[in-house]
Amino acid sequence: MINNYELYKVFYWAAKTGSLTQAAKVLYLTQPSVSHAIKQLEDSFGITLFNRNSKGVVLTQEGEVLYSYIEKSQILIAQAEKQMTALKNLDSGELRIGGSDSLFKHYILQHLENFHKQYPGIRLHLNHGTTPEIISLLKEGEIDLGVVRMPIADPELEVRESFQLQDCFVAGSLYSELQNVVLSLDMLLQYPIILFSRNSRARMAITELFQSYGHQLKPEIEVGSVDLLIELARKGLGISYVTREFVSKELEEGTLFEIQLDVPIPPSQVGIMIMRNMPISNAVNKFIDLVQ
């Protein structure tokens, strides 16, 4: 059985135009080459596909059956080629991103806005969660990339550094006596501490920092969102550990102030996470270029 796609292509255009000469022009072939391709198909099937007449060629009954299948395949191939061109030019497609609520709100959103302006044909799908949840979504193929805090130690993943964040402790007016006072970790622990959930990367980092100085960090309140961290601190329910960049407005307005410590809090690095040694789409490449 013949399996050369080019022969079927010749057959399709000969049938569509009703002329071997016209088929040759469309395919940039000579007429003898078209005639030879048709003969190869007919010999392979052992049937006649065309009747010749003074005006050109006409499909036989058997040729009509073959054409009904080949026509569908040619239409699908043409659509596939068109779609591939659209994907290359970012006229269509999708981009699936995973990250935390806070990173989406305070960082990724501005880049998504720019990306959408440049490539409005790309559909955006956002999945929020903790770093372990984003890693699982990436490995399961549910997202194309994740925006997460580093470090990420996983041989299956490639993480490209993007930008730095600085975490800090903040308080509201109820603790105004602490403003412009440098506190030791012992002194800080005398006050109620509000932290993000245990499986967040920021929570792990600050817990490890306190442990390195011989202290156990036990929060009075645990919450699941940065907005709650900010609001609870403003209400005076305790001292919250947040990312400075995420409370820049509150710090500027004076509704919150930063607690000064006698030990430095190292900055954290945010990275763009993709699967290692896996092809990525043009849309993913463009977004990464935009963010970095």
Are 172 and 255 part of one and the same domain?
A: yes
The pLDDT of residue 86 is: 67
| HSE-CB of 23 using CA atoms within 13 angstroms | 25
Which of 38, 71, 88 is a domain's end point? 88
The pLDDT of residue 241 is: 96
Are 279 and 151 part of one and the same domain?
A: yes
Q: Please confirm whether the linkage preceding 151 is cis (ω < 30° from 0).
A: yes
Are 26 and 40 part of one and the same domain?
A: yes
Number of separate domains in the chain: 3
Residue by residue, DSSP assigns 201-225 as HHHHHHHHHHHHTT-----SEEES-
125, 124, 127: which is closest to 100 by C-alpha? Answer: 127
pLDDT digits (tens, 9 = 90+) for 136-171: 999 988 899 999 988 888 999 999 888 889 999 999
Please state the φ and ψ torsions of residue 47, each to the nearest 5 degrees.
Answer: -140, 160
Are 247 and 200 part of one and the same domain?
A: yes
Are 282 and 261 part of one and the same domain?
A: no
Are 77 and 99 part of one and the same domain?
A: no
Which of 40, 55, 88 is a domain's end point? 88
What are the C-alpha distances in Å from 278 to residues 93, 138, 157?
18, 12, 10
The pLDDT of residue 179 is: 94
What are the C-alpha distances in Å from 274 to residues 31, 81, 109, 115, 237?
51, 27, 19, 18, 39
- Domain of 209? 167-266
What CATH number corresponds to the domain at position 180? Answer: 3.40.190.10
Are 41 and 69 part of one and the same domain?
A: yes
Are 11 and 153 part of one and the same domain?
A: no
Are 261 and 274 part of one and the same domain?
A: no
What CATH number corresponds to the domain at position 71? Answer: 1.10.10.10
The pLDDT of residue 202 is: 86
Are 256 and 282 part of one and the same domain?
A: no
Are 77 and 104 part of one and the same domain?
A: no
Residue by residue, DSSP assigns 111-173 as HHHHHHHH-TTSEEEEEE--HHHHHHHHHTTS-SEEEEESP---TTEEEEEEEEE-EEEEE-G
- Containing H/E element for 196? strand 193-196
- From CA 124, how far away is CA 139, in angstroms rounded? 19
The pLDDT of residue 163 is: 84
The pLDDT of residue 1 is: 47
Digitized pLDDT (tens) for each residue of the chain, 292 residues in all: 455 888 999 999 999 999 999 999 999 999 999 999 999 999 999 999 999 988 899 999 999 999 999 998 888 888 777 767 767 778 888 889 999 888 888 888 889 999 999 999 889 999 988 888 899 999 988 899 999 988 888 999 999 888 889 999 999 999 999 999 999 999 999 999 999 887 788 888 999 999 999 999 999 999 988 899 999 999 999 999 999 999 999 999 999 999 999 999 999 899 999 999 888 888 888 899 888 7
